A and B are shown apart, each in its own frame.
Chain A
């Protein structure tokens, strides 16, 4: 008897005699259950992403604690205007991503597409600004291995010889390092940095580089969501990919929210 009533329940499933919708995977009972399972999976993935970036934030915390002065000096080589602009661009793209989800919830398909396009466009603006920042820093020679070759590895000291636009110089200071890096920072000041300042720049390149990679991946995901949306795959009842794609994009925003003050707005005023 129990069997019979179960079969009857499946036949009547879900309610009001509706058919099992296409988007509902067979191992889920209801769209709501499928939706919450997808969300939980996404949040666990976001937790792993935080832990991945966490390793770099840990390295940052340790090196900054050890070398507050070096971090303070070296951060003047980052352009605050670019950094702040990129922050607002990403915040705005997060807004449009949230609005895209909202439109999807309401089943407004063309509005969703429009918001997704704006979000992807903001991602492009972010990367273009990042390109200009990187290009300038690479030109200056702030990558590891130019001015910042490790003293132990460099066979010769180029005493005053130009390598890129930063210089390796001898600075005879009592108790000071024999080899310094001379370069002009974003405020137009000539700075003498110790060779170990490359820790700051290495962290800058790796942290923003990994973040930039996430921007690229986020753009690809949102583009895929956009294509599916244009194909009419989503509806009021099923918009999970729009929601999860936006969650990934917000994660990119979250990481940048921490990167901006930690890299661009380090400490002490003049």
Chain B
């Protein structure tokens, strides 16, 4: 067996997506985009920035944040695919990158789910209280809400200040 052939096969097994051409000489052959192409991507990014700005003056109700995130994701994809060369890179790098978003999504979803099952926000101070009793919810910050403190002692109705107590 020719040693050089074995060698080339070995290097290809390491999954370098940037090796181009019919032969593998072991050198780095990263994809080369033209300068005009990069300027074009920049132009698209600026246009999307203007769109996200303009769109913030329209009210889509609860969808506002999703519209903003959609445009931001389009911009991020352009940056990742072309400026960061993911489009021409090994697919494994893309997987490593996207895995971060997968786990971030899990993190946010589970936190959300947990929060939804705990308690409601106290309209006065924003701490979490159990909706039925007005007491501090388990897992929330201790004794941070005026209504919770007072409700625990069966005192004043909501709306009387903590500040007065502190005096």
Q: Which residues of A contact B (CB under 8 A)?
A: 5-6, 8-9, 12-16, 29-33, 35-37, 39-40, 43-44, 46-48, 50-51, 54-55, 57-58, 61-62, 64-67, 70, 80, 84, 87-88, 91-92, 94-95, 97-99, 101-102, 105-106, 150-152, 154-157, 174-179, 194-196, 199, 237-239, 243, 246-247, 250, 253-254, 257-258, 260-262, 265-269
Contact = CB atoms under 8 A, between A and B. Distances in A.
Interface of B is mostly: helix
A67 B122 CA distance: 11
Interface in B76-91: 76, 79-80, 82-85, 89-90
B100 to A, nearest CB: 4
A46 B97 CA distance: 7
Contacts, number: 236
Contacts of B57: 269
A98 B39 CA distance: 10
A102 B84 CA distance: 11
B51 to A, nearest CB: 10
Contacts of A65: 112
A151 B28 CA distance: 61
A102 B71 CA distance: 27
A58 B90 CA distance: 30
A175 B3 contact: no
Contacts of A102: 32-33, 35, 38
A33 B13 CA distance: 10
